[in-house]
Amino acid sequence: EPEVTQTPSHQVTQMGQEVILRCVPISNHLYFYWYRQILGQKVEFLVSFYNNEISEKSEIFDDQFSVERPDGSNFTLKIRSTKLEDSAMYFCASSENLGQPYSNQPQHFGDGTRLSIL
């Protein structure tokens, strides 16, 4: 079964450094998402991306965050200057859309990247 893949599985970075988290969504999917989960807490929405642009972002997704689809397969999340509070699991998700009104397609998640900021 197709799956969302994320790399690396664990990233350790010094505070203030830039970090790029990578995702390969499921190949026929058109909608891409990033979520994060702080240890012991619920999963929180960061950003959604469609047709090469951000379609929605949360309050968490400030100017330090950016997303990009540099080619036909990868979807990346960049944090420009990491802070201690950025330590979390970051999940990429993707969904397809059949073009029907009011027809949400389920989002499928990768196994995440554990980001540890020192």
Partner 1 sequence: GQQLNQSPQSMFIQEGEDVSMNCTSSSIFNTWLWYKQDPGEGPVLLIALYKAGELTSNGRLTAQFGITRKDSFLNISASIPSDVGIYFCAGQTAGGGATNKLIFGTGTLLAVQP
- Write out the residues near partner 1 by the rule CB under 8 A: 4, 6, 31, 33, 35, 42-45, 48, 50-51, 55-56, 58, 91, 93, 95, 97, 99-104, 106-112
Q: Closer to partner 1 by CB, 44 or 69: give it.
A: 44
The nearer residue to partner 1, 15 or 43, going by C-beta atoms, is: 43
Closer of 67 and 93 to partner 1 (Cβ): 93
Residue 88: Cβ-neighbour burial (10 angstroms; 0-12, 13-18, 19+): buried
Q: How far apart are CA 41 and CA 71, in angstroms?
A: 33
Q: Could you tell me the smallest distance in angstroms from the CB atom of residue 29 to partner 1?
A: 13
Burial (CB count <10 Å: 0-12, 13-18, 19+), residue 106: exposed
Nearest approach, Cβ of residue 35 and partner 1 (Å): 7
Distance separating alpha carbons of residues 15 and 81, to the nearest angstrom: 7
